[in-house]
Structure 1
């Protein structure tokens, strides 16, 4: 056998069924990586720094010699880890195929010496190894290009407390495609959106996850020869979701796509919000209010906090919901020039099952 270099499109196709091994340093992987990839670092962070310094200040040959000193003692362990990953993936596969269970996909930053070294070792041991031409850098080019492609999307609008996330989940179960930006960002969008959520990914990692989600809609590895992407639903979001920014070319398409505004009475949404956040830690809620105090205003901030201190959750969120309604309404009608008019969809209550069907009926 021999190591087979392949382009990104083929690499992503194979990654659906076979493990991807990211041999960059732990810090590089932790910052951002191809979604689903396993970390199998050739060098740790300090070793990478030493090798890189030798490459710049001494010579390529000296850097390789130092790298070999680090690599040698790790060889057996790296092979064993790769075996474990293949075994784990084989057990989790819905339809295991023994004839293809020996395939590994390997990449580093540029498709250079790190991936070449690890791929050589794994090939020598007997795995069928493919390396990514251009490495992770080529994947990042693909990510950026993905957001400039034209996508067919339908935007679900609605004031805070309309249960939009639950509606998207129901719509997806009914068979329509959905891109859940808040799920990818680990944040619900408002000042309270971080409560009960994991730490947000880096901006780069969010973009990687979004690009793969979009790519999956076309069923191929991206590029000019991709299949026509499926239309999908996305929630009407602001440009910023917590600390994450929605990529500008993609966000511009969101602001010009057809928008279906689910219009639910204030009282119904208030009860839904109180139920959702009512059990949250009071100190966390107060901290969230303080983060928006400049826009909320001094008096409203003070009143909302007093309500929280006195355990009047409904009173506090009544103030906050009016604030968010005002800002959302302003954004709703400041969409891209020439975009389709917003379609108003009246609903009596926050009922994801009924409201998802109401939206789909409006489409037909």
Structure 2
């Protein structure tokens, strides 16, 4: 079984797999120095079906050439006796080729037990176990109310905070994609999540935002999702004018292309009705963005969020209301300081 010490204390972590494998998931902090690249890996695999020995010959030839090129990198141009961790898919031939070369030079080298496959299994198992030991303070509230901004204010004030939307590169709704920021794969999201929660003191609460089981195309671990729904709920209330302003800040691309926004929301017609969709289209065509953003929140997101919250948190019995007059950073900093100052007093529902 792995632990965090298995992956720390190294001057360099080398992922010897192909770039395609590395992109899907990799150990935090690792750099990709492939023994064989994607096309080379495919060639070796195809050849192996009919002539395994020839396949290994091709693979070793590519490996020696690629490792030789990698050794020209600045890291290897010093005489420092660095400690290096190497891994491939299962800790086999590819990592052994790297290990043999590095040990011959004089580096201290370790191979990750069972390679990336073993690491991946450890991530999955740990993400099912650790959240059961965590205590959460969950920020709830309708879209645009400033939950994420308050989370970051809490972190600046010294609280432990987990920003799931940042890890997922998504704001958690059908329009939550962030232009220019593709989502990580499910496996790499899990890696990022475990890397983040491993930094927490589990004896202290972690502030988190209420989320659905899926954030865009990635899913939360079941144990984390269930732990959130057993936690204390803090419901954020914010004036509509502030929420509309928040939408302008978070979704500037929709202000530039309001018709594109409505195209993304047309699938909601069975839920909100054709009359509402037509009204959104008219507001978009007239570029009345404040009215459009407000209507989308009131007619869809607010009732949808209320239904979801009642379903998932209806039995918690412990709710604290947080009334925000503004989403200004200085104001949120003061609110965050006030929340943390209350400490144990938050054990009883109150108004902030």
Q: TM bucket by the smaller chain?
A: 0.7 to 0.9
Q: Is the 8 A contact 2:238 2:326 kept in 1?
A: yes
CA distance in structure 1 between the partners assigned to 2:141 and 2:49 by the alignment: 55
Structure 1: runs of 5 or more not aligned:
1-5, 88-97, 219-227
Q: CA 1:332 to 1:269, structure 2 compared with 1: closer, same or farther past 3 Å?
A: same
- How far off its partner does 1:345 sit? 2.3
Alignment of 1:15-34 (within 5 A): 18-34=11-27
Residues 23-71 of structure 1: CA deviation (Å, up to 9, x unaligned): 1111111122223221111111232233334545444x54432321212
Q: Is the 8 A contact 2:48 2:55 kept in 1?
A: yes
CA distance in structure 2 between the partners assigned to 1:163 and 1:86 by the alignment: 49
Alignment match, 1:281: 256
Residues 157-210 of structure 1: CA deviation (Å, up to 9, x unaligned): 121111111111111111111111110111112333214451111111111111
CA distance in structure 2 between the partners assigned to 1:246 and 1:48 by the alignment: 32
CA distance in structure 2 between the partners assigned to 1:249 and 1:307 by the alignment: 42
Alignment of 1:164-179 (within 5 A): 164-179=147-162
TM-score normalized with structure 1 length: 0.83
Structure 2: runs of 5 or more not aligned:
346-352
TM-score normalized with structure 2 length: 0.85
CA distance in structure 1 between the partners assigned to 2:31 and 2:102 by the alignment: 15
- 1 or 2 for the larger relative contact order (CA 8 Å, sep ≥6)? 1
| DSSP-derived class of the 2:312 partner | coil
Q: Considering only aligned residues, what root-mean-square deviation do their CA atoms show, in Å?
A: 2.6
Alignment of 1:18-167 (within 5 A): 18-55=11-48, 57-59=50-52, 61-81=53-73, 83-84=74-75, 102-149=82-129, 150=132, 151-167=134-150
CA distance in structure 2 between the partners assigned to 1:344 and 1:121 by the alignment: 61
Picking from 337, 341, 360, the partner of 2:318 is 341
CA distance in structure 1 between the partners assigned to 2:324 and 2:287 by the alignment: 30
| DSSP-derived class of the 1:129 partner | strand
Residues 197-252 of structure 1: CA deviation (Å, up to 9, x unaligned): 5111111111111111112225xxxxxxxxx5653111111112122222222111
Give yes or no for the alignment of 1:239 onto 2:213: yes
Alignment match, 1:93: none
Q: Is the 8 A contact 1:289 1:305 kept in 2?
A: no
